[in-house]
Chain A
Amino acid sequence: MNEFLQQLVNGLSLGSTYALLALGLAIVFTIFGLVNFAYGELITIGAYVMLACSNLGLPWIVQALAGIFAAAVASVLMELIAFRPVRHADGTTMLITSFGVAIAVQAILTITVSARARSVPQPAWTIETVSFGGIALPAYQVVTVVVTALALLTMVLVLKRTNFGIAMRGAAEDFTTARLLGVRANRMVSSAFLISGLLAGVGAVLILARTGGAVEPTMGLAPVLKAFVAIVIGGIGSLSGAVVGGLVLGVAEVMLRAYLPGQVTGLTDGILFALVVVVIVVRPEGVMGLKARLRT
């Protein structure tokens, strides 16, 4: 029972990271119509900036803030440089553009740093455990859940309570109408990318705490793929769906890893994706998705 609870917390911690990342992807998708493959590279950029700060001997909290800030700035810049010119193109064109951006960022990091993995030393607390009623839990998992919950809560408050957030949700529902009602398009798009980048940056900090600080140019692929799958589970275009999808995915992944027989644990992702495909086939519009208005 204890083990199960530990796995559950582990799953929630991983799932909340996925939820955070999926939300960042979903915000950009709903406003801009872009499935942003380069989102993984925002995580990578955040991680590399943490590496640089760590090499400068800066304290961990400064590394973390710098990483988050860098991911947010990189996200806004990506939109300005690469995505704005294809804003009115079809979804596939935007998708491939972001794919190109992802490759370019990976290459730049390979050139300027190294193709090989580097390590960012993590603070001691990340490997400590905390006890709750006799259950020992790794500290990073508890921190992850708390940080994600705070980040999501902030997002909800901003989206529901501030004028800016309401404008943003309006833009997510119908961008054209929102513009006609006086929402400034460029600012809205930049804000969406900014928030998306902030979430990626927070994700980077949490991922490093989980993995012990390993960074490499292709490190963004695995988490971005999970975030994609999460928004597919939750229903593309739904913000709350993205969060639910992320949590479901994280718990499922940890449970599979924990309870699958030893020789097939290497295939966890394969089995996980197969399960997701079954979910999509049964419910093509996603768990929380809008009901499809037209049969296509």
Chain B
Amino acid sequence: MTLHTWPAALRSGVIRAILLTIPVAVLTIGWASVRGASGERLAISTVINVILVASIGIFVGNSGVESFGHVAFSAIGAYAVAILATPPLIKQTKIAEAPFGLAGLQLSVLPAALASLAVVAVAALLIGLVVMRMSGITSTIVTLALLVVVNGIINNWTSLTGGAEAFYGVPLVTTLPITLVVMLIVLFVAGAFRSSPWGLMLQASREDELAAQTMGVNVRLLRLLAFVISAVGAGAAGVLLALLLGAITPNDFYLTLTFITIAMLVLGGKRSTTGAVIGVIVITIGDEIFRWLGDGPTLGGVTLPQLPGFSTLFLGVVIVVVMVWRSAGIMGDREIDDFTKRWFRSGAGTSKVLADSTTRSQARLTATGLVKHFDGVAAVDGVSLEVGPGEIVGLIGPNGAGKTTLLNLLSGVLLADEGTVAINDVALPTKLHRIARTGLARTFQNIRLFKELEVSENVEVTTIVARGSQHEVVEPGDLLATFALLASADRKAGVLAYGDQRRLEIARAAAIGNHFVLLDEPVAGMNEVESLQLRETIRELNALRGAGVLVVDHDLSFILGLCQRIYVLDAGRVIAVGTPQEISSNQAVIEAYIGASVAKDQKPEQHPHPEGPVPSGEQENS
């Protein structure tokens, strides 16, 4: 396993950028020297496309939120540098009426370019602040609207941009070496971000936004960060393109460029920086071939018909075929420098099974008068409960009793209509991602792992969060060793066996939950042997960090055998509280839950047994 630390991220950023720049430089410099001026132009625009696509990938690949609007940032960058760097003499004829005296302004190219990037960054920050408040699919639609709006503004704000006609006279300073250097920087940033703790947390939110938030990942902030970084990269591509073309129109940064960059991104693989480079090169070659074919070349004496739009058809078909055939693209998650990973491999050999903690948590979880309605039905109706320091507490009840809703209230996934949840009399924060930082973590009834991330990475997400909020942090490797998952550390979480997935989810919660871990039906779908094993796992969890555990289940034998204290929930209310002995002989519980004839024969000492509680209906029939 490879840990996501900043030094490791910077190192792999450097290695990846260099390994990727070498072949691109060889290809483009070679092409430019063979084909002269026109070859150089193609070479430079190819490198600019690498900058653009790798930049888009920083946001799209890590966050999993598709964007069709990044070309708008290229447009902003291009027009900003054109307005700032074009000599006033030319501007007087074109945009003499420009606001803020921009028509008379003369900046040399480098300050103009840097100022343009700053403009892009500010624009991206303002747009991102709004867009990141929306759900994934809505923000994708908004990015497309952004593209249309920016294009509309450039077309219509004639006094500033010259409108739909070409803005000419932009200094021609973009050269192949300059572009390659910028590409090297962008590839470094993209590579380092992807391997960094921030990148990992953002990828976790890509896999499961809710789970990431409950594990303490500030999804909105990280998305915004990635959005701004990737927008600045796209802006740099726009700046370079303006300084290459000398004359730009709004449509240079509109649908055609959007189509081609999306084809490049999906072909190579959105999640991989190496994929961005491969996608650009393959699409560029294909695009050139189809463009040439579409121009009606003469082949073997036969002149083919002119087919304008032929290269666009190629792009469309490539996108559809890639999505159908391999939606992760050519590279998927792989990178050119993967082979170097084993040189820096950390810790599988040194990981140790953790000893039981000597310090017990002193935190007490208190819920008071919780009420939650769904469309007028009270799913939870005035529940108060308490989990003492280091206590293992069970919550049982028939289906529909409100167990999962209660757990969602306790973990902050749902907001209560009435009532409070507090740890040591301090109310839980309202922001979901802050709750994990108080040392309260949970698992989900329908397992919500970060499926496409490695097993070790699943745990690492929470250890990173814990590092920012706790004194005693457990190492991911040690946690995996403790929960017997070390052998699978490098496998993707989604391919683990069911029982291992449950254990991994508990290990992930254990990394951050040093005060409380809430488990939602951990033995659902397990046989008796697996359920026994899991009971031991939960005891380990409890011993490991001294954390209190609240287990929700309707497997009575499992709960009776595990917990020190049990709450029984029925129709949204607590109908009984007590020790396993008290609960199994409580008349109200027997009637509501177990069925009279079963309870007579079952003593808590007998649990768990192969023959657990039998549903009342069947028992009566026998």
Main secondary structure of the interface of A (DSSP, over half): helix
For B209, list chain A residues within 8 Å (CB).
296
B315 neighbours in A (Cβ, 8 Å): 100, 103, 107
Q: CA–CA, A102 to B68, complex, Å?
A: 13
CB proximity of A233 to chain B, nearest CB, Å: 10
**A295 on the B face (CB < 8 A):** yes
Q: Is the CB of B138 within 8 A of A111?
A: no
The answer for the CA separation of A218 and B316 in the assembled complex, in Å, is: 14
Q: Is A108 an interface residue (CB 8 A)?
A: yes
A86 within 8 A of B: yes
Q: Knowing A96-B319, A107-B313, A281-B133 are in contact, say whether A267-B152 is a contact too (CB < 8 A).
A: yes
Q: Mark B317-336, 1 if CB is under 8 A from A, else 0.
A: 11110011001000000000
Please give, as numbers and ranges, the residues of chain B lying within 8 Å of A93 by CB-CB distance: 323, 327
Knowing A104-B313, A296-B210, A296-B213 are in contact, say whether A97-B323 is a contact too (CB < 8 A): yes
19 A-B residue pairs with Cβ-Cβ distance under 8 Å, sorted by A, are: A82-B324, A92-B64, A93-B323, A96-B327, A97-B324, A100-B323, A101-B320, A104-B317, A107-B312, A110-B308, A111-B313, A115-B309, A232-B141, A266-B152, A273-B142, A273-B145, A273-B148, A293-B414, A295-B412
Chain A 244-296 residues near chain B, CB threshold 8 A? 266-267, 269-270, 273-274, 276-277, 280-281, 284, 293-296
Q: Which residues of B contact A266 (CB under 8 A)?
A: 152, 155-157
Question: 8 smallest A-B Cβ distances: which pairs?
Answer: A100-B319, A104-B316, A266-B156, A110-B309, A103-B316, A107-B313, A107-B312, A100-B320
Q: Is B31 an interface residue (CB 8 A)?
A: no
Q: How far is the CB of B84 from chain A (nearest CB, A)?
A: 22
Known: A96-B266, A97-B323. Is A111-B309 also a contact (CB below 8 A)? yes
B60 CB, min distance to chain A CBs, angstroms: 9
* Docked CA distance A92–B153 (Å): 28
Binding site for A on B (CB under 8 A): 64, 66, 68, 130-131, 133-138, 140-142, 144-145, 148-149, 152-153, 155-157, 209-210, 213, 255, 259, 262-263, 266, 307-310, 312-320, 323-324, 327, 374, 408, 412-415, 432
CA distance A229 to B213 in the complex (A): 28
List, in ascending order, chain A residues with CB within 8 A of B319's CB.
Answer: 96-97, 99-100, 103
Interface check A225, CB cutoff 8 A: yes
CB pair B316 A269 closer than 8 Å = no
Return chain A residues, CB-CB under 8 Å to B140. 35, 92, 95
Chain B contact residues, majority secondary structure = helix
- Among B138, B307, B320, B415, chain A packs the most CB atoms within 10 A around the CB of B320
Query: A236: CB under 8 A from chain B?
Result: yes
Task: Please state if B137 and A107 are interface contacts (CB–CB under 8 Å).
Answer: no
Contact residue among A100, A105, A269, A295 (Cβ-Cβ distance under 8 Å from B148): A269
Q: A101-B316, A281-B133 are in contact. Are A96 and B262 (CB under 8 A)?
A: yes
Q: Flag if B327 contacts A269 (CB, 8 Å).
A: no
CB distance from A82 to the nearest CB of B (A): 5
Q: With A104-B313, A229-B145, A266-B156 in contact, do A97 and B138 touch (Cβ < 8 Å)?
A: no
Residue numbers in B under 8 Å from A273 (CB-CB) = 142, 145, 148-149
Q: Is the CB of A284 within 8 A of B310?
A: no
The reply to whether B152 and A106 contact each other, CB–CB distance below 8 Å, is no
Q: Is the CB of B320 within 8 A of A82?
A: yes
Please tell me if the beta carbons of B133 and A284 are within 8 angstroms of each other in the complex.
yes
> A276 CA to B130 CA in the complex, in Å?
11
Q: In the assembly, what is the distance between CA of A51 and CA of B156, in Å?
A: 30
Given contacts A86-B324, A95-B140, A97-B324, 8 further A-B contacts (CB under 8 A): A90-B327, A97-B319, A99-B319, A104-B320, A111-B308, A273-B142, A284-B135, A296-B135
- For A225, give its contact among B148, B157, B263, B310 (CB under 8 Å): B148
- Of the candidates A97, A110, A269, the one whose C-beta lies within 8 Å of that of B152 is A269
A277 and B312 CA atoms in complex are apart in Å by 32
Given contacts A96-B323, A267-B156, A295-B432, contact A232 B213 (CB under 8 A): no
Closest Cβ of chain B to A61, distance in Å, is 31
**A133 interfacial by beta-carbon distance below 8 Å:** no
Q: In the bound complex, do residue A295 and residue B133 qualify as a contact, i.e. CB atoms below 8 Å apart?
A: no
CA–CA, A183 to B573, complex, Å? 38
Across-interface contacts of B310 in A (CB, < 8 A):
107, 111
B281 to chain A, nearest CB (A): 20
CB-CB under 8 A from A294, the residues of chain B are: 210, 408, 413-414
Residues A96 and B138 in contact, CB atoms below 8 Å apart: no
Q: Quick check: A269 and B149 within 8 Å, CB to CB?
A: yes
Is A267 in contact with B130, judged by CB distance below 8 angstroms? no
Question: Smallest CB–CB gap between A165 and chain B, Å?
Answer: 24
CB proximity to B under 8 Å, residues A210-224: 217-218, 221-222
CA of A196 to CA of B415, assembled, Å: 38
- A71-95 vs B, Cβ < 8 Å mask (1 yes, 0 no): 0000000000010011001111111
Contact across chains for A97 and B255 when beta carbons are under 8 A apart: no
A140 proximal to B (CB < 8 A): no
Give A215 to B273 CA distance when docked, in angstroms.
40
Partner of A267, one of B153, B266, B309, B323: B153
